[in-house]
Amino acid sequence: MTTPTADEQYATGLRGQWHPVVPSSFVAPGAMRKVTVLGEQWLLFRRSDGALSMLADRCPHRGAPLSLGKHLGDRVACWYHGVEVETDGTVSSVPGLPGCNLEGKKLVVSLPVREVAGAVLAYFGTEQQPEPVELTLPEPLTDPDIDAFLCYAEWDVPWRYAVENLLDPMHGAFLHHDSHTMFEGDTTAKFRIRETDRGYFFEKTDQRGVNFDWVELCRTGVDWVDLSIPYPPSAGPGGPFGIVGMVRPVDAERCAVFFWRYRKVQGWQRDSWRFLYKTLIEERHWAVLEQDRVMLEAMPADADQRENLYQHDLGVVRLRRLYRAGAGAQAAPAG
């Protein structure tokens, strides 16, 4: 894989970190799935024993897509000439010419993968950092006292816009005003950035616990956001409703969003929460998410080039600086 320029990385996603790929359920045992991540084509391959691997979707012989090939249990055979590639990217057989010098060589890029809370994460390296960086998972996804549901959607939106939307709490008071949880609170506010050792909070200074009043950007080997939305007693036990959000860059115009919707509940309260969520609350959450999708997909491609920002946009400006600096540090030299 060639190293992208700074502009290409800013458009298609940063390397040198982990990214979510798809929900684990999208790749059943004995199945394959083609995915596009950071503007590149990949093949997710799950053996019949459940082990998952991720290969560049490119046969080392003539470049044909391996995703069109045949699943052979522990390897894939290219449809074009039958070349067989193991899950670590090693060519195991060239049926047309046994003993060919391709055999035994690792010629296909294979990425480190982990499955977390129902989703596949993969590490996309750089020349400077080819080995996986340390991955610290979001606490709400590892705490046994927290129960979460994963929501996944694909949007025709640049990945940055989807992340920026999460770093913009004020839109909740307007775009989502008619939702079941964000109809209360002031429609005026002031914000501040509060730095942490893993990112920063962007939060209202004059309101807490009423609406979408704060968000935390966390950079822990994978980029994710955490936020909390107050819930009325009618929504059952568990207190505030939390969301862990991640975004997968597909290419310069598309992304996939992952939202784990969670509450801290145990015992019978967990059962009650899960029942209420599936029978009542989930549909409402999809309606809120659809409002975000409609708004973001309607924005012009150059929306971030013709803006007039104000104090509420400090979180977005901070985010752009982080990503611009990261893309520049990882990029290939111009030309």
pLDDT on residue 104: 98
For 206, half-sphere exposure in the C-beta direction (CA atoms, 13 angstrom radius) is 8
pLDDT at 34: 98
pLDDT of residue 137: 97
The CA distance from 101 to 271, in Å, is 58
Inter-residue contact 178 to 322 (CB < 8 Å): no
CA–CA dist 216, 293 (Å, integer) = 21
pLDDT at 182: 57
Report the pLDDT value the prediction gives residue 115, as an integer from 0 to 100. Answer: 97
CB 91 within 8 A of CB 99: no
The type of residue at 223 is D
CB 86 within 8 A of CB 110: no
Largest CA distance in the chain: 73
Determine the pLDDT at residue 2.
67
> Residue 106 and residue 270: Cα distance in Å, rounded?
47
pLDDT at 333: 59
Provide the pLDDT for residue 183.
58
Cα separation, 309 vs 173, in Å, equals 18
Say what the pTM is: 0.93
Unique residue bearing structure tokens 């919707």: 261
- Centre a 10 Å sphere on the Cβ of residue 267 and count the other Cβ atoms it contains: 8
pLDDT (0 to 100) of residue 133? 96
Give average pLDDT by consecutive 10-residue segment, the chain, 335 residues: 83 96 97 98 96 98 98 97 97 97 98 97 93 96 95 97 93 78 69 95 79 87 92 74 95 97 91 89 90 96 92 95 93 60
What is the amino acid identity at position 179?
S
DSSP 187-230: S---EEEEEETTEEEEEESS--SSSS-EEEEEESSBEEEEEEE-
